[in-house]
Amino acid sequence: MTPATERIRPTQGQRTDAMRARLLEATLEIIAEEGWANASTQKICKRAGVSRGAQTHHFPTKDSLLIAAVQEIVARYQRDIDTATSRPDGPDQHLEDVFDFLWGACFEGNLLNSWMEVMVASRTDAVLRPAVRETDQTAVTAMRALGDPYGPGAADLVELTVYLLRGMVVQAGVHLDDENRRKLFEVWKKIAC
């Protein structure tokens, strides 16, 4: 029974998936807009249009919700990387293009802002740290792999670029001047490539 046409209320599994997705989306928005420290479960629930009871049902503790959010951030990042690598924009591109891709992935959207919030917070949060460490590890290795086709040492250059961009994105949260950062990044590309 239970034909799809007659079903008014979705199945339990669908409800769970949808609710978790809504809560995670709201969590990411709050982190991006108000910062990790101000991401209270109450705000998240209000943003998601959900009662606190619903949230505690799917994520019984705040930590569980935030850790899920951490993994979601990196999952989205990974998705960007995957699409970038699968699409061969030309059979013979230059390492410089990888740098430009990293720049783009860094400064469009606010994923990296959220990620820096998470990393800084995890330094003093023993519960968070293991989860962040693990996910960050995989993210960094995935980005290093972007450099592999360009000879030995390229992976190191990519990793350096990642740290540089992380420092820059924190800077961008305080200083609006984007021009200077872009200029500096050009300098960096010139000496690294």
Residues in the site for a copy of itself, rule: CB under 8 A? 33-38, 113, 116-117, 119-125, 129, 132-133, 136-137, 153, 156-157, 159-160, 162-168, 170-171, 173-175, 184, 187-188, 191-192
Range 11-30, binding DNA (CB under 7 A) = 11-13, 15-16, 18-19
Q: Which is nearer to DNA, 11 or 180 (CB)?
A: 11
Closest among 90, 78, 99 to 154, alpha carbons compared: 99
Residue placing its CB nearer to a copy of itself in the complex, 98 or 157? 157
Helices (H), the chain: 12-34, 41-48, 52-58, 62-86, 95-107, 111-123, 128-147, 154-174, 178-192
Q: Which of 53, 88, 152, 153 binds DNA (CB under 7 A)?
A: 53
Binds DNA (CB under 7 A): choice among 62, 129, 166, 189: 62
Can you tell me the distance from the alpha carbon of 81 to that of 103, in angstroms, rounded to the nearest whole number? 12
Task: Confirm or reject binding of residue 52 to DNA (CB under 7 A).
Answer: yes
**Would you say 140 and 79 are in contact if contact means Cβ atoms under 8 Å apart?**
no
Q: Is 50 in the site for DNA (CB under 7 A)?
A: yes
CB 166 within 8 A of CB 102: no
77, 136 contact by CB (below 8 A): no
Residue type, 90: G
Binding site for DNA (CB under 7 A): 2, 7-13, 15-16, 18-19, 38-43, 50-54, 56-58, 60-63
